[in-house]
A and B are shown apart, each in its own frame.
Chain A
Amino acid sequence: MENRQRLEQIDSGTMPDATAQQQPAKGAPRLLLMGQRRSGKSSISSVVFHKLPPNETLFIESTARIQKDSLSSFMDVQIWDFPGQIEIFENSNVTFDIDAIFGEIGALIWVIDAQDDYTESVARLHHTILNLQRSYPQINIEVFIHKVDGLSDDYKFDIQRNITIQIQDELSDQGIDNAPVNFHLTSIYDHSIFEAFSKVIQKLIPRLGQLEAMLTNLCRTCRFEKAYLFDVNTKIYIATDNTPEDMSSYEICCDFVDVIIDFTEVYGSWPRTQQWRDRLEGEPWDQPLEDQVACDRAEAGMILSDSQRPIMLREVDRFLALVAIMKEGSYDKMPQINMNVDVVVKGLEEFFRITKQKNIVEPTIMKGPGRPLQGGR
């Protein structure tokens, strides 16, 4: 509670007109975006969370104050975008309430511009990790080595190796060995940024293992090659089965979701007339439209010409969709597969109902004596 109050003080004090209208639920994980100026932090959050086309990020102005966004999806996440010029740990003018910033954090994302000289950024990152390790050792530190589009593969991996070694050496010099620091190569011009965010978000999901087990099971029964559970709005995948990661499967599934979203917008987002409906529900159908469909949610399938491999999609709820790449020639088995998918979708709903509930119940328990829900037990 103290954290929250102090946080509000910061809100009203140092940045009066920061998005104060949002009061996200307590316990919503927070992602902090930090890094040097012009390293691409705001572009990242615009592309991932606001669907800005990557080439339009050219027009984004430099961020002057902390930008707060919240993503309400299957899980509420806050995204704080820090201006590059702010030094959290050494700033003589404004003292930041470190606890308010890092107290409820989910992950710190440090963005490094790979096309620029990154010595200073790495030094600052190192400094930040040291400071955080003292008080908040549980915070995940995710380093995005950014703007790697246009760099050759060799060069990319060289940079990654350099930075990793530098950070780890310096940390172990200070006696810190197992800091939770991860490195990702990213670019907003391809899927890598979404993939990196997927990894970051997955670490924040309670009982991820359970989700993965469900998907693995589905893949085995339906002979899927790969299945993903997507957050439709951001194209972040929140779980996948346990077969090895494969960037190209992720890309095609991601784009499949995009195509479906576009189709839905064009043909599914405007109201039809009553006459239209009346005609369709009259002779020879004599049934309400709702009863004429087999599945009340979005379902899609397509077949690649090459080797006749199908890809299928099924809406799970308002935020999530299941996308899977199927084995060659298995489109004929679609009816059976649909039944299996039905079961898994029900299971997923149950899963999120239970984990969501937990989030709501916990604070009430913590609040004290009342315990309205759990009273007698």
Chain B
Amino acid sequence: MNAPAAPLLQVRNLRVEFPTRRGTLLAVDDVSFDIAPGEVLGVVGESGAGKSLTGNAIIGLLEPPGRIAAGQVLLEGERIDNLPYERMRRIRGAKIGAIFQDPLTSLNPLYTVGRQIVETIQTHLPLSAQAARERALDLLKQVGIPAAEQRIDHYPHQFSGGMRQRVVIALALCAGPRLIVADEPTTALDVSIQAQIIALLKRLCREHGTAVMLVTHDMGVIAETADRVAVMYAGRIAEIGPVRDVIKSAAHPYTRGLMGSIPSMGVRSARLVQIDGAMPRLTEIPRGCAFNARCTEAGERCFRERPELMAAGATRAACWRHDTGGVGAVRTKEAAHA
């Protein structure tokens, strides 16, 4: 897919490191992608694949000692990864909104939701207290809070989990950001509410023309919501492409494994596929392709050289199977360990 001429967000060769006593951990390694205005990019992967860290790096809230070691993040063509704290703060909330995993703990328990929304609005927009409150009320209605006039003066503990996540979405939207980084926005919610929240997020972002980076480990959510999807594995992007193509004809063996693990209502007899083994620890990423130990199609080359993203049908995948050179002589797992 050709990105439009002016992508909203560009991530270029992003590298996030964690200095530890036993050496530097490379948590995000050479990750590049674009998000177009109004586009929903799903970022999927197992725990520890680096997807949340990528999101945090974009909004400039990596928790120390984690740091951006290399690469660039550009918003509307301007670098934002090296801004001073105070300038980045003005971008957060105003141009990039964020939603985190747990709506139960994202709101300050001691203030009414109205106060928290008004406070955020007034931080970024030159509105009077009265106008900000009206805007807050309007936002609460938009995110579907019933009886918003009363609820605006309620405290977070008086809302259910789903309602709180709606408030969090209102907070993320309240200064009209161009991009929302949503980090597992539905993981902590009941399954019945997850779909509502995802639908709400999708609808609001379409109405406001807001782009979304949707970080999740739930392939189902991605399939429903995203325009494009990036599959992350061990800190790198394994495959990226339009969501239909990635689901229908995944080019990376890992992506295929992920797709195989989604239960399907139609195919009753098929057993769910599971990927053997676990993602390598960040300290023990093997030479060559990080997935080589779990891959059923790995060849000799996969243990020697690291594949970069390359064209693979409709998507781009980091797999030697799509290189003219191929994977080389097939090696079994036993041979690899010998």
State yes or no: do A and B come from one complex. no
A-to-B contact residues, CB < 8 Å = none
B-to-A contact residues, CB < 8 Å = none
